[in-house]
Amino acid sequence: MGKQPAAIVGIGQTHHRAKREDVSMAGLCREAIDRALADANMTLDDIDAIVVGKAPDLFEGVMMPELFLAEALGAAGKPLLRVHTAGSVGGSTAIVASSLVQAGVHKRVLTVAYEKQSESNAMWALSVPLPFNMPVHAGAGGYFAPHVRSYIRRSGAPTHIGAIVAAKDRNNALKNPYAHLHNEGTTVESVLASQMLWDPIRYDETCPSSDGACALVIVDEQTAASSPNPAWIHGTVMRSEATTAAERDQVNPQAGRDAAAALWKQAGITNPLEEIDCAEIYVPFSWFEPMWIENLGFMPEGEGWKLTEAGETAIGGKLPINMSGGVLSSNPIGASGMLRFGEAALQVRGAAGEHQVEGARRALGHAYGGGSQFFAMWVVGSEKPSN
């Protein structure tokens, strides 16, 4: 027996903000869950199992938060799983949830991912000095900036490409009422004029630190029949690799390339640039848009920036990317991957509101995490998969 068809029939997210001091972690999760369940026309009583994800425990200082959250998540008397794969966790959590349906284990699975960054300080949590090492670490930006520099050198991309991405995503966010940043009037020039934080990454090319959650209801074929617009899962892939290894490609990681190749094969896609209508890609620093365009195989190596420069990744372009405003506009880390997955599903359901891509039928949701070492991605479509 092969995989069972599975579909997303409920999507919910919080209003993402720097500090959601009005809610606890449980309350934050429930805000997203209750919206997803309402969207699916279900209650917690209809759910068979719950899969929860969030990024490192040091972010909130709560070890195994799933223990104290179990009751609030409606998991009493039901299976509850927690997933963790650093920044990609929102994506891998959704994939674990969908696997439970595709494997025929459960019919209706609720999945939720969250981060309440205001409870601590991610910059601190990601820069804890390691014994015996040189303490030059400076958060995620400090980690990724050298690799962005390598990309610029390798590809020969003009230095304003990152600013094009940032201006596009910040303007897309204006169309998304849930987005954290609503920075009116962001232009390539204003991004280039913003402070250099981790040279070559500028302030406006950097994701914010957000509190937020995202939840999805993933169901089997029979349950999906009563949904007016299910988003069908056409393929899901996860891949990992070592953080550090001799001659490891940090710009175009092997695990990402392998995952993408496997994903397109699973979804029956031979030319992703032509066959994918839009994509939500994990871009916490602007330059990762062209980097992942290449890693995902939309463009040959060294040419991803050309798609960005030509405006083809804007809404209305050949491959709109991050219509929601992306990670650059909202970054509740643990939820950020699931937001990409959920936004892809919203697009193929025709339910993305102001930031809807007209006629979107197949969309990519993508997340990465750690030192570009965990990858999670899915393709969702408006039609039931044929394979």
∠ CA 99-103-106, nearest 5°, is: 85
Shortest Å distance, C-beta 230 to another protein:
24
- If the CB atoms of residues 27 and 317 are measured against another protein, the closer one turns out to be 27
The pairing of beta strand 201-202 with beta strand 278-280: unpaired
Q: Figure out which of the listed residues 139, 230, 290, 370 binds another protein, where binding follows CB under 8 A.
A: 139
What number of other Cβ atoms are within 10 A of residue 137's Cβ?
14
CA dist 387 and 378 (Å) reads 15
Q: Can you read off the two tokens belonging to residue 296?
A: 């995902």
CA dist 247 and 175 (Å) reads 42
Q: Hey, what amino acid is at 31?
A: E
Shortest Å distance, C-beta 28 to another protein:
8
List the interface residues with another protein, window 95-134 (CB under 8 A).
116, 118-121, 123-125, 127-129, 131-134
**Nearest alpha carbon to residue 285 among 354, 372, 346, 378:** 372
Q: Can you read off the two tokens belonging to residue 181?
A: 């940043």
27 is an interface residue for another protein by CB under 8 A: yes
Q: Figure out which of the listed residues 18, 76, 103, 225 binds another protein, where binding follows CB under 8 A.
A: 76
What number of other Cβ atoms are within 10 A of residue 34's Cβ?
14
The answer to whether residues 374 and 86 touch, using CB atoms and an 8 Å cutoff, is: yes
Q: Figure out which of the listed residues 78, 137, 175, 318 binds another protein, where binding follows CB under 8 A.
A: 137
18 is an interface residue for another protein by CB under 8 A: no
21 is an interface residue for another protein by CB under 8 A: yes
Shortest Å distance, C-beta 24 to another protein:
3
Shortest Å distance, C-beta 130 to another protein:
8
Stretch that binds another protein, among 66-74, 215-223, 269-277, 339-347 (CB under 8 A): 66-74
Structure letter (DSSP) for residue 195 = P
Q: Hey, what amino acid is at 150?
A: S
Shortest Å distance, C-beta 102 to another protein:
27
Q: Figure out which of the listed residues 244, 270, 316, 386 binds another protein, where binding follows CB under 8 A.
A: 244
- If the CB atoms of residues 26 and 188 are measured against another protein, the closer one turns out to be 26
Shortest Å distance, C-beta 191 to another protein:
16
CA dist 222 and 382 (Å) reads 16
192 is an interface residue for another protein by CB under 8 A: no
CA dist 173 and 275 (Å) reads 25
Which phi and psi angles does 235 have, rounded to 5°?
180, 145
Side-chain half-sphere exposure of 56, counting CA atoms within 13 A: 14
Shortest Å distance, C-beta 131 to another protein:
4
Stretch that binds another protein, among 14-22, 90-98, 286-294, 340-348 (CB under 8 A): 14-22
26 is an interface residue for another protein by CB under 8 A: yes
Instruction: Draw the binding track, 79-98, toward another protein (x: CB under 8 A; -: no contact).
Output: --------------------
CA dist 37 and 112 (Å) reads 11
Binding-site ranges for another protein (CB under 8 A): 19-27, 30, 43-45, 58, 60-61, 71-72, 74, 76, 116, 118-121, 123-125, 127-129, 131-139, 141-142, 145-150, 153-154, 195-201, 242, 244-251
